[in-house]
Chains A and B, each alone.
Chain A
């Protein structure tokens, strides 16, 4: 039953919200991940440009995977490795059980491997009497308490030193002091005999190289070196998507992975293992290496909408920027693979239903896509997962309401006096919360009785547009049309002032809520309709400009992915502009505008909505404000304000409550920044920030000094 699943999810969210300490640890970890990544990018020649190289390499290697895998296997076998292809976890486990028996193995020392986590292979081996010991410290900590990774890169980030000391006190039977150096001494002494006595060393591999038949293992602790060198038998479980073509590809991945994960270039130790070396002299020929190439759903992923997930290099950067993951952590936001990539990988290897259990935690802010070293379109894939899940389980009522919010807005505008009275009546709002799941506490903008569309078509046409500098097709979307026509008209006026001929062609809504809640049929319909209506204008030389960040994002980023075969969708995307970025360029082209002091002395904090990140990150608006004398600063946490479009408008844990928890850090930053007001271009972020900060919020075009 869908409701049981959602109830479980809500129970987990509630538990996470009451554990502030855990969340603070995780948020600290994520921030550090983002900060160190940023610092590394600054020192890297070309900065973030390596993402294009990674993307291209991954596209090529996944496209050619069958051939590369064949080449990898041939070359590895030439070097004496035993290579097997495992369909699933069961195959891997039975192979390893047989190996353990053959070698009469008592101890298997293991270095960190997410692929072996994926197939949960420790327990069956332990049940068969083999002592399987994780040697990566974080993995060992969670193994000792039988938990799953809380974070991909820092699996035990939710444990403080005293917790860890207690875990090792229990494991060793001796009192361990709770300072980190003491713990480390104990860990070293605890693990050293495991390394030395291990019969089998079990590793994953970050990379398989087709050209050479070798594997690369990246670690910081150096455990991978010990695990792969000591035991007579080495076993490596590698996901088939890790195979790359060449040494150059391998070097690229070896760099991209730690830069994105922890700002290192590269990890402390990278082991390029080819064949199996002897250990010492005169030991006979009994050293073995077994490479197990795991499929476990990957072939199917390659042929479906999860294909891009195979580009994932497991750096964990997506979870370092994911707003809701930061509050609830990997045990709630994840199955075995946590975070945004966890939704896609769970769907691919553990089943759509398991992924659906936590996919609703994605609020479709899209930040994961912006940080991903392989530029994976995570929000699109997650939307497809939600869509598949809804086919079986149906959409949640509150989500259905939000998918249809544009129709409600149309009705609200047509019946504005009544609708506005209802929206401001606490009793009515309580009733609406109960029936349709709209949070009663959210202060919503009133509806305008005359829409932007009507007002635009009713206005006196402007005469002096015979030789316009630019032709602009204005895209208005829901808010400016039904709630704030003045904003839309101000935007049009500003464009006209710069010499643009502005039209408002027939258009639909952006349809982004359909993506956010996984109604992909609706999303594709909305996209196709707008492409059909707007592309002809683009062909006539019009630029498309939108004030609502999410609308611009839908047209410029989402539509080409929704309609991959549509040339017109790409055409529209290329012609779509974020309003201020466009306006600023017009000002530039017209020559330096006379400095205006209208906003002089006003201290403004700018909030960049997530969907502006790939569209200039709000620099257009900030520079435009600075030109008018404002003292404007970007205030940001590095993640979302928590609103997530309409997510935060929904009542309860899977809405308002989680949304507020996400926003808390940003609210504090704004409140402490000594500002006169907050400016943001997003209609929904402004609802969130107004409530969270109690401060004045304006769209840049509507600042009091300007009007």
Chain B
């Protein structure tokens, strides 16, 4: 299923990485940061352990923005970030879709303002078919309070509005990564 997800996510011009543990995931994020020469990255919806590991992996060269984001600083604070990293609730293999859930819109800004977005997900959370997702969606909506946004993310921001030529990154991320952690439960 992870294979099918990766294949479909990449068909949509996403980049997928399969890693064995969350510490390997952190290494992958750090590598992307180096490759992108990122100065500032924004995080949201990630486990404390991953945040702590990232802070030590990135060192002093890279500024790390993380929750809680003061309301007064938004949206400008997150707009400064070169890379946004968010945690994913689950993913759908059939359509190459990562599913992000938030009850604070700062999370949505982290996955949509920076030029590069990295989604972190567990292999165990990948479901096979698109229509199977209804149960998970219902459960998420019922579990959260009144305010909740579920975002399907299937690859980077794209448009075909000029001459129908596929162009990536018109508003949101021009690069979308999915890091799939196998072998660990959330």
Closest to A225 in B: B112
Closest to B131 in A: A251
* CB <8 Å contact, A274 and B171: no
* CB <8 Å contact, B153 and A265: no
Tell me, in angstroms, the Cα distance from A157 to B163 when the chains sit together: 6
* A668 contacts partner chain B, Cβ-Cβ < 8 Å: no
Interface residues of B in 71-89 (CB under 8 A from A): 71-76, 79
- Measured between beta carbons, the chain A residues less than 8 angstroms from B145 are 275
Q: A80-B146, A266-B97 are in contact. Are A278 and B71 (CB under 8 A)?
A: yes
Question: B161's contact among A136, A267, A268, by CB below 8 Å, is which?
Answer: A136
* A282 contacts partner chain B, Cβ-Cβ < 8 Å: yes
* CB <8 Å contact, B157 and A220: yes
- Measured between beta carbons, the chain B residues less than 8 angstroms from A251 are 130-131, 133-134, 137
Contact pattern, B 104-138, Cβ under 8 Å of A = 1, otherwise 0 = 11101101110000000000000001110110011
Question: B158's contact among A160, A181, A221, A255, by CB below 8 Å, is which?
Answer: A221
Contact pattern, A 339-382, Cβ under 8 Å of B = 1, otherwise 0 = 00000000000000000000000000000000000000000000
* CB <8 Å contact, A270 and B75: no
Nearest Cβ in chain A — how far from B75, in angstroms? 5
Q: A78-B146, A268-B12, A280-B70 are in contact. Are A161 and B171 (CB under 8 A)?
A: no
* B159 contacts partner chain A, Cβ-Cβ < 8 Å: yes
* B25 contacts partner chain A, Cβ-Cβ < 8 Å: no
Tell me, in angstroms, the Cα distance from A191 to B169 when the chains sit together: 13
* CB <8 Å contact, A275 and B148: yes
* CB <8 Å contact, A196 and B104: no
Stretch at the interface among A182-190, A534-542, A698-706: A182-190
Tell me, in angstroms, the Cα distance from A188 to B167 when the chains sit together: 12
- Measured between beta carbons, the chain B residues less than 8 angstroms from A79 are 146-147
Question: A180's contact among B109, B147, B167, by CB below 8 Å, is which?
Answer: B167
Interface residues of B in 129-186 (CB under 8 A from A): 129-131, 133-134, 137-138, 141, 144-165, 167, 169-173
Tell me, in angstroms, the Cα distance from A275 to B145 when the chains sit together: 9
- Measured between beta carbons, the chain A residues less than 8 angstroms from B151 are 225, 269-272
* B95 contacts partner chain A, Cβ-Cβ < 8 Å: yes
Question: B163's contact among A161, A255, A271, A276, by CB below 8 Å, is which?
Answer: A161
- Measured between beta carbons, the chain B residues less than 8 angstroms from A277 are 102-105, 147-149
Among B79, B109, B156, max chain A CB count under 10 A is at B109
- Measured between beta carbons, the chain B residues less than 8 angstroms from A222 are 112, 157, 170-173
Q: A268-B12, A268-B153, A272-B137 are in contact. Are A278 and B160 (CB under 8 A)?
A: no
Question: B147's contact among A80, A280, A283, A284, by CB below 8 Å, is which?
Answer: A80
* A672 contacts partner chain B, Cβ-Cβ < 8 Å: no
* CB <8 Å contact, A221 and B172: yes
- Measured between beta carbons, the chain B residues less than 8 angstroms from A164 are 162
Range, interface on chain B: 35 or more
* CB <8 Å contact, B69 and A281: yes
Closest to B111 in A: A225
* CB <8 Å contact, B148 and A280: no
- Measured between beta carbons, the chain B residues less than 8 angstroms from A25 are 163
* CB <8 Å contact, A28 and B71: no
* B59 contacts partner chain A, Cβ-Cβ < 8 Å: no
Tell me, in angstroms, the Cα distance from A262 to B12 when the chains sit together: 13
* Chain A residues bordering chain B, tally (CB within 8 A): 68
* CB <8 Å contact, B104 and A280: yes
Among B74, B95, B149, B164, max chain A CB count under 10 A is at B149
- Measured between beta carbons, the chain A residues less than 8 angstroms from B130 are 251, 255, 265-266
Q: A247-B137, A275-B148, A277-B147 are in contact. Are A220 and B159 (CB under 8 A)?
A: yes
* A640 contacts partner chain B, Cβ-Cβ < 8 Å: no
- Measured between beta carbons, the chain B residues less than 8 angstroms from A132 are none
* CB <8 Å contact, B72 and A283: yes
* CB <8 Å contact, A191 and B154: no
- Measured between beta carbons, the chain A residues less than 8 angstroms from B71 are 278-284
Closest to B154 in A: A268
Q: A80-B146, A196-B76 are in contact. Are A159 and B162 (CB under 8 A)?
A: yes
* CB <8 Å contact, B108 and A225: yes
* A663 contacts partner chain B, Cβ-Cβ < 8 Å: no
Tell me, in angstroms, the Cα distance from A188 to B73 when the chains sit together: 22
- Measured between beta carbons, the chain A residues less than 8 angstroms from B149 are 229, 271-274, 277
- Measured between beta carbons, the chain B residues less than 8 angstroms from A181 are 167
* CB <8 Å contact, A279 and B141: no
- Measured between beta carbons, the chain B residues less than 8 angstroms from A191 are 171
* CB <8 Å contact, A137 and B162: yes
* A659 contacts partner chain B, Cβ-Cβ < 8 Å: no
- Measured between beta carbons, the chain A residues less than 8 angstroms from B173 are 222
Nearest Cβ in chain B — how far from A23, in angstroms? 15
Question: A280's contact among B95, B106, B112, B141, by CB below 8 Å, is which?
Answer: B106
- Measured between beta carbons, the chain B residues less than 8 angstroms from A248 are 131, 134
Tell me, in angstroms, the Cα distance from A221 to B144 when the chains sit together: 27
Nearest Cβ in chain B — how far from A202, in angstroms? 16
Q: A188-B170, A195-B171, A221-B172 are in contact. Are A279 and B104 (CB under 8 A)?
A: yes
Given contacts A137-B161, A223-B170, A268-B156, 11 further A-B contacts (CB under 8 A): A80-B146, A154-B160, A160-B163, A184-B170, A195-B171, A196-B79, A222-B171, A223-B171, A274-B146, A279-B75, A281-B69
Instruction: List 29 A-B pairs, Cβ < 8 Å.
Output: A80-B146, A136-B161, A141-B161, A156-B162, A160-B163, A164-B162, A187-B170, A195-B171, A196-B79, A220-B159, A220-B160, A221-B158, A225-B172, A230-B105, A247-B138, A262-B160, A268-B154, A268-B158, A270-B151, A272-B137, A272-B152, A274-B149, A275-B147, A275-B148, A277-B104, A279-B71, A279-B75, A280-B72, A281-B68
6 smallest beta-carbon distances between A and B, as pairs: A283-B71, A222-B172, A275-B147, A280-B71, A138-B161, A270-B152
